[in-house]
Amino acid sequence: MTLLSRQFNWGEGYAQRPILTYLGVYFSLFALYAAAVWLVAGRKVDDRRSFLTLVAFGLLFRALLFPSQQIQEDDIYRYLWDGKVFAHGVNPYAYAPAEVQQYQEFRISEPERFSATYDEESQKELERLNRLKWESRQALTVLDRVNHPDVPTIYPPLAQFVFAATAMLKADSIGAMRMAFLLFDLAVLGFLVLLLRALGKNPNLCLIYFWSPLVIKETFNSTHLDIIGIALLTGSIYFLVARRHALATVFLGLSFLGKLYPIILLPLYLQQAALQVPAAARLQAARRILSLTLLFAAVVILGYLPFMGTGLKTFEGLKTFSTYWQSNDSLFSLLVYFFRDILKLGGEGQTFLSQSWPTLAAKATVFALLVFCLAWLLFRRRATDQDTAAIRPLFVMMALVFVLSPVQNPWYLLWLVPFLCIYPRRAWILLTGLAGLYYLDFYFDYQDIAHQSAWTPWIEYTPFYLLLAWDFTAKWRTRRLAMGKTPSAPPA
């Protein structure tokens, strides 16, 4: 894969890129990975030698990808730019990269409008960023390669601190960023081992995470930031199982500051904390819920505090992303198609409302489904001593967030991989392999057959949903059969 990556040069040779060869390599790796998962999960290999072997090979796989060029991904350049901006004392939410790119031309060609647009402090900051742009050839390259340069950064505060710390060590370095991500990656491994042992499970099941081709490719080749939030979420789950609810809440808040998804889990965390209080002590349970809620809010506020000088502009990039982005989705695209179809009123292409309304209706439906499922999980749960029962609702909600999302990029699926070490569901493990088909879209575009891209989600998701339905049906039948064989009352 590293050798192939040399043919993925930024901005050139698109039609000649060996995307199909890359997919052949990826799926071959996934087949070997699936065999390893079967060996560990099916045959209960749990000796210390096997554990050290899987860790050694996992590190080797990562080391092999460290010198690779990104395959079809360029988010890393935004991370490098954000980190350098923040490390030099400028709020990364304040200016879109395009404002820096156009700074000189705007200032010279339209001085009056420039002065009306930026106050004196902003002009000084833009001048500082303009100097950063020209400080080296690599610095110029990084800024030139930032995608969607007209959109301010969408990445949350903790990610910005990680980017800035990396920039202070070595600016404009993809290798330095990968080393930073390796620290979080190893933290995931450590927390997973602790968690599996706390649950009485085979620690070698951490192989499902540590050997995952999806995790390794998207973290150490594509260099996506999700590993930051995933590490903190895994730690949060471990502390939840260990009944250390304050630490679990702090880590959940930090995970939210790494990437925003985990906030949907907060009600489940609060409920789990309340379930540990005796049923008679309702006032004590209410106090615990309130204190943990305030603790979560304090972590989030402290995280955002250094960036709030820009006011609501801090969330401008996030607003753009949540409003307009739609990529590689499955169920969401079906919802959009459904609403677009029922809103038609007559002639071809005539709709009752504008074209944006089907998407808004789909998003409202997704929100309602998530709220309903969260409420169902909250109200059906009872106090239990089984720690795995506390984790299952977290897995369910994170899985629903992924499958219902309008953006189902492969690296978003990484958030579910640690859960698969506890619940090695074969449909979800299969999806971590099928997610590689996302890159087929690029091949179709480069070969001028973009119309074929419509088939990519069907190829990618249909086997997953079929296997998921099959496993669910089989489990339901087994449960019904077991209930049928259980006597309704003990013998007299």
Q: What is the DSSP string of 81-130?
A: HHHHHHHTT--TTT--HHHHHTHHHHHHH-HHHHHHHS-HHHHHHHHHHH
What DSSP element (H or E) covers 172? none
- pLDDT value at position 280? 65
Same domain, 283 and 393: yes
- Report whether pLDDT(293) > 70: yes
Residue 112 lies in a domain: yes
pLDDT tens per residue across span 114-170: 888 888 899 999 999 999 999 999 999 999 999 999 999 999 999 999 999 999 999
Q: What are phi and psi of 351, to 5 degrees?
A: -130, 155
Domain boundary among 122, 149, 172: 172
Same domain, 188 and 220: yes
Question: How many domains does the chain divide into?
Answer: 2
Q: For 251-264, give one letter per residue: b (16+ CB within 10 A) or e.
A: bbbbbbbbbbbbeb
Same domain, 95 and 29: no
- pLDDT value at position 347? 42
Same domain, 150 and 221: no
- pLDDT value at position 44? 64
Residue 375 lies in a domain: yes
Same domain, 330 and 439: yes
Q: DSSP string of 243-270?
A: T-HHHHHHHHHHHHHHSSGGGGGHHHHH
Q: Average pLDDT, stretch 3-27?
A: 93
> Which residues span the domain enclosing 87?
75-172
Residue type, 463: P
- pLDDT value at position 348? 46
Q: Distance between CA 65 and CA 29 in Å, rounded?
A: 13
- Report whether pLDDT(387) > 60: yes
Residue 455 lies in a domain: yes
Q: Residue 357 contacts by C-beta under 8 Å, 6 or more apart in sequence?
A: 339, 343, 351
pLDDT tens per residue across span 374-384: 999 998 866 45
pLDDT tens per residue across span 250-274: 999 999 999 988 999 999 999 998 8
Same domain, 365 and 466: yes
Least confident of 40-54, 314-328, 338-352, 438-452: 338-352
Same domain, 19 and 144: no
Cβ neighbours, 10 Å, residue 100: 23
Q: What is the CB-side half-sphere exposure of residue 79 using CA atoms within 13 A?
A: 27
Same domain, 381 and 242: yes
Q: Average pLDDT, stretch 59-81?
A: 95
Contact of 72 with 443, CB cutoff 8 Å: no
